Amino acid sequence: MSKVNLRQKLKINLETLTFKTFLRGFLTVGFFILIVIGLIINQRPFKSRLREGDIALKSIYAPYDFVYSGEPDNEKTVKEQQKAIKSIKDVYSLDGRVLDEGIVALDKFFGSADSMKLFSKYDGLSVLSVEAKHLLSLVYENGVLSVKDKARIQESGETDIIIFNKAAGTEKQVGVARIPGVDEALRDLYDRAKKVISDKKMVQAVVEVLQNEITANLLFEKIITEARRQEAAASVPVQYKQISIKKGELIISKGQRANKDHMAQFLAIEKNEIQRSRGKFTIGALLLVFLLLSVVTIYLILYEPKIFHNTSYLTLIGVLSVAIIFIARAIIVSPLPSYVIPLASISMLIAILLNQRLAIFITIILGLAISINVENSLNLAIMFLFGGLIGIFSTRNIRKRWHIIRSGILVGGVNALSIISISLLNNLNVDSFLADGLWGFGNGILCVFIVMSILPLLEDIFNITTNITLLELSDMNHPLLKDMMVKAAGTYHHSLMVGNLAEAAAETVGANSLLARVGAYYHDIGKIAKAEYFTENHKAGSKVLHDKLTPSMSRLIITSHVKDGVELGRKYKLRRDILDFVEQHHGTGLVYYFFQKALERIEDDGVLKEEGFRYEGPKPQTRETAIVLMADSVEAASRSLTNPNPAKIEELVHRIINNKFIDGQLDECELTLRDLNKISGAFIRVLIGVTHTRIEYPDIDKAVKDEHKHN
């Protein structure tokens, strides 16, 4: 490829930036983020596959200094439990009845004769009663402890207690310094009274009255406190002795059986490595995914432009890639061996739904992304490569669903052979690599279930037509084909013949012969509605309906079968690939017969433009639709041949294909002149086989007489 072509393919024309361009960018960023998350979530750079009781196949040494938890440390556990107990504060309940009872007592006092005598010189007795109640509520605002409880708290050294309000159902932690004892509350009463009562003469009298009402309103809840402390002690996990390991120190030697102590050390390494390298690993994952997506993007632009410009296909690739990344991460962090990761299922799905070349490339990219940070990554990458490739190759031209089972068995077998071969090279234990080989074979079976389960779903969601779907559409019991057979028998037989021609031609140029054949079956479904207007459906002796119509009206009826066919196909939910045959099988070709009739009717100085007698198009965009376009014309023209022979057929085929080429109907597909030559040869072979002359049998009566004559 020249530098100019490369530059042209990579060039971004700002004028062509559309909504789809921005959508592709959005999808790329979204999948980039998801893949990075899939790579770093629960990331464990070090993961020993040993389980307790397994035999180590190699010696393992400490990668750096670390500390791990050894045997239980009972003394430390008790100390931690004591700390937990001390952390629980004493619980006191707030008794609201104390304040209520004090206020009732004050009401009773100020309504008695004693208060009248005591405050006889004070005019505002009712006001004084309110101020006394307010003063009492201020005393109880933060609660009041009994002298005994206050002394006990001070001796314990506690600085806070929990006050539980039973009425409100709430609790709060309060500093002991803010809570007075009864004796402190009495000493502070005079100062509080001076702030509340403006008349200094009455302060002492009120204080004397209130002193009799003040008592503790915080009651120690011993049962609740002890229960909470027991619960805290029980929640303390068992403490273990912390053992230091130096870098390079032997953890387990080859052939040694792994015990609990070894497993504790492996776990410590995993946790330490996550803390030590998570930031670096995240940056590395970002760079790696950026590189992988960049390579994939360049590949799609250069070699798969149709897929690159199809948002649906890009979404499919992204969804499958993200799904396998997350599945792989789940398996990597689980006890299952990494050999279970079903990457080959993604390879098979992309090969079936899109194409094999892309599937090979995506398999390599995903295999690198998944295995890059897994223990024995080389072994895993080799299994991914061989298993994925055999899955791709075995699904080539797949036409039956049981072929998927065959592919899965092949994938499993190749996986097992890959694992066993690498294990033999590494001189590993026979029991170990046989077990891994079985896991690899099981991987292939898992791929079968995945592919068979989601393939139909992906076909419907992304509107992709696979060979399996094509075979289902080729069933002559399909409602559209049955309807065509009844209402447009000539068109039905014409379509079958076009299918045979298209299939043979597609095989010669390496196109999808099944797609060409099935597309040919449905290309003329638009004729069902007005079947009597098309020549192949005319019955012998019946009137030609076009004789009563103008050429323009006839042209309109003839060309409308394309639009009618598309609408009918959508009604029956035909895939886009099949509808392309309906739309493109005439391209922008000229309705020659009625154009000539129109020319005969105009005056000498009149002007008639061809554009008015051409199909709307579009021209064929693929090799398969172009082949059907040519097969359609060739088959229709071959019916008009009288006494056909190979020379006439060959001349007819070459003339029609040459006319299509000159008319520009093949300009937008990928057929070459060499392909056209092969296609014409295929058409000629099929038509000669169909239109071969039969030997003339003798008259039956004469033959019988001759037979008696000679007997």
pLDDT at 129 over 80: no
pLDDT at 696 over 60: no
pLDDT at 572 over 50: yes
In sequence order, which ranges of 181-336 are alpha helices (DSSP H)?
182-196, 200-211, 222-234, 260-303, 305-308, 311-332
Strand, helix or coil for residue 438: helix
Q: What Cα–Cα distance (Å) separates residue 579 from each residue in 249, 469, 518, 571? A: 69, 14, 11, 11
Determine which of 190-194, 240-244, 326-330, 701-705 has the lowest per-residue pLDDT on average: 701-705
- Strand 160-165 vs strand 60-61: parallel, antiparallel, or unpaired? unpaired
Higher pLDDT, 697 or 205: 205
Distance of CA 13 to the CA centre of its chain: 31
N-terminal to C-terminal alpha carbon distance within the chain = 81
User: Is the peptide bond prior to 335 cis by the omega test (within 30 degrees of 0)?
Assistant: no
The reported pLDDT for the residue numbered 291 is: 84
The reported pLDDT for the residue numbered 699 is: 47
In a 13 Å sphere around the CA of 281, the CA atoms on its Cβ side amount to 18
The reported pLDDT for the residue numbered 28 is: 65
Q: Give 629's pLDDT tier (boundaries 50, 70, 90).
A: very high
The reported pLDDT for the residue numbered 1 is: 42
Q: Token pair for residue 349?
A: 């799905």
The C-alpha R_g of the chain, in whole angstroms, comes to 46
Q: Which residue type is seen at 464?
A: I
Q: Token pair for residue 587?
A: 């391209």
Interaxial angle between packed helices 260-303 and 356-371, expressed in degrees from 0 to 180 and rounded to the nearest 10: 150
Q: Give 606's pLDDT tier (boundaries 50, 70, 90).
A: low
Residue 667, C-beta contacts closer than 8 angstroms, at least 6 positions apart: 619
- Strand 160-165 vs strand 91-94: parallel, antiparallel, or unpaired? parallel
Q: What gap in Å lies between CA 442 and CA 181, rounded to an integer?
A: 76
How many other C-beta atoms lie within 10 A of the C-beta of residue 374?
19
For the chain, give the mean pLDDT. Answer: 80
pLDDT at 217 over 60: yes
Q: Give 9's pLDDT tier (boundaries 50, 70, 90).
A: very low
The reported pLDDT for the residue numbered 640 is: 81
| Helix, strand, coil abundance in the chain, percent, nearest 5 | 65, 5, 25
Which residues are paired to 72 by β-bridges?
Answer: 240
Strand, helix or coil for residue 61: strand
Higher pLDDT, 220 or 583: 583
Q: Give 127's pLDDT tier (boundaries 50, 70, 90).
A: low
Q: What gap in Å lies between CA 516 and CA 339, rounded to an integer?
A: 40
Please classify residue 465 by burial: count the beta carbons closer than 10 Å to its beta carbon, then call 0-12 exposed, 13-18 middle and 19+ buried.
buried
Which residues are paired to 242 by β-bridges?
Answer: 69
Q: Which residue type is seen at 470?
A: L
Which residues are paired to 284 by β-bridges?
Answer: none
The reported pLDDT for the residue numbered 64 is: 67
Per the CB < 8 A criterion, the answer to whether 96 and 167 are in contact is yes
pLDDT at 365 over 50: yes
* Rounded to 5°, angle at Cα 390 from 385 and 393: 120
Q: Token pair for residue 143?
A: 């609660």
Contacts 24+ apart (CB under 8 A), 220-223: 220/90, 220/91, 220/92, 220/149, 221/91, 221/92, 221/93, 221/164
The reported pLDDT for the residue numbered 707 is: 38
Determine which of 106-110, 410-414, 588-592 has the lowest per-residue pLDDT on average: 106-110
Q: What gap in Å lies between CA 318 and CA 341, rounded to an integer?
A: 18
User: Is the peptide bond prior to 342 cis by the omega test (within 30 degrees of 0)?
Assistant: no
Q: What gap in Å lies between CA 501 and CA 657, rounded to an integer?
A: 13
Q: Which pLDDT tens digit goes with each residue over 276-330? A: 556 666 777 778 788 888 888 888 889 888 888 888 888 898 889 888 888 888 8
Q: What gap in Å lies between CA 557 and CA 459, rounded to an integer?
A: 35
Q: What gap in Å lies between CA 562 and CA 526, rounded to an integer?
A: 6
Residue 297, C-beta contacts closer than 8 angstroms, at least 6 positions apart: 28, 308
Q: What gap in Å lies between CA 79 and CA 569, rounded to an integer?
A: 79
**How confident is the model over 227-231, as a mean pLDDT?**
88
pLDDT at 540 over 90: no
Q: Which residue type is seen at 404?
A: I
pLDDT at 174 over 60: yes
Q: Which CATH code for domain 469-690?
A: 1.10.3210
- Strand 250-252 vs strand 240-245: parallel, antiparallel, or unpaired? unpaired
**How confident is the model over 7-17, as a mean pLDDT?**
44
Higher pLDDT, 269 or 231: 231
Q: Which pLDDT tens digit goes with each residue over 498-516? A: 999 999 999 999 999 999 9
pLDDT at 339 over 60: yes
The reported pLDDT for the residue numbered 16 is: 44
Q: What Cα–Cα distance (Å) separates residue 375 from each residue in 12, 56, 285, 372, 380? A: 42, 14, 17, 9, 9
Q: What gap in Å lies between CA 206 and CA 185, rounded to an integer?
A: 15
pLDDT at 158 over 60: yes
Q: DSSP strand E in 91-230: where?
A: 91-94, 160-165, 170-175, 218-220
Per the CB < 8 A criterion, the answer to whether 343 and 392 are in contact is no
Determine which of 19-33, 139-153, 360-374 has the lowest per-residue pLDDT on average: 19-33
Q: Which pLDDT tens digit goes with each residue over 231-245? A: 888 888 888 777 778
Closest C-alpha among 565, 655, 660, 577 to residue 622: 577
Per the CB < 8 A criterion, the answer to whether 353 and 464 are in contact is yes
Q: What gap in Å lies between CA 355 and CA 300, rounded to an integer?
A: 12
In sequence order, which ranges of 180-259 are alpha helices (DSSP H)?
182-196, 200-211, 222-234
Q: What gap in Å lies between CA 528 and CA 566, rounded to an integer?
A: 12
Q: Give 170's pLDDT tier (boundaries 50, 70, 90).
A: confident
Q: What gap in Å lies between CA 479 and CA 472, rounded to an integer?
A: 12
pLDDT at 40 over 60: no
Per the CB < 8 A criterion, the answer to whether 329 and 433 are in contact is no
pLDDT at 704 over 60: no
Determine which of 272-286, 542-556, 624-638 has the lowest per-residue pLDDT on average: 272-286
Q: Which pLDDT tens digit goes with each residue over 50-98? A: 778 888 776 777 766 777 777 787 888 888 888 888 888 888 888 777 7
Segment (H or E) for 245: strand 240-245
pLDDT at 429 over 70: no
**How confident is the model over 390-413, as a mean pLDDT?**
88
Q: Give 46's pLDDT tier (boundaries 50, 70, 90).
A: low
Closest C-alpha among 44, 48, 558 to residue 265: 48
Residue with tokens 């890639």: 321
Instruction: Specify the length of the chain in residues.
Output: 711
Q: Which residue type is seen at 95?
A: D
Strand, helix or coil for residue 456: helix
pLDDT at 529 over 80: yes
The reported pLDDT for the residue numbered 253 is: 79
Which residues are paired to 145 by β-bridges?
Answer: 181
Residue 309, C-beta contacts closer than 8 angstroms, at least 6 positions apart: 20
Which residues are paired to 460 by β-bridges?
Answer: none
Per the CB < 8 A criterion, the answer to whether 623 and 638 are in contact is no
Q: Token pair for residue 282?
A: 């995240």
Segment (H or E) for 130: helix 125-139
Per the CB < 8 A criterion, the answer to whether 116 and 188 are in contact is no
Q: Token pair for residue 510?
A: 């390496």
| CATH class held by domain 304-464 | mainly alpha
The reported pLDDT for the residue numbered 216 is: 81
Tell me the percentage of the chain whose pLDDT exceeds 70: 81
Q: Token pair for residue 565?
A: 């066919």
Q: Give 653's pLDDT tier (boundaries 50, 70, 90).
A: very high
Per the CB < 8 A criterion, the answer to whether 615 and 562 are in contact is yes
Domain spans, the chain: 83-233, 304-464, 469-690
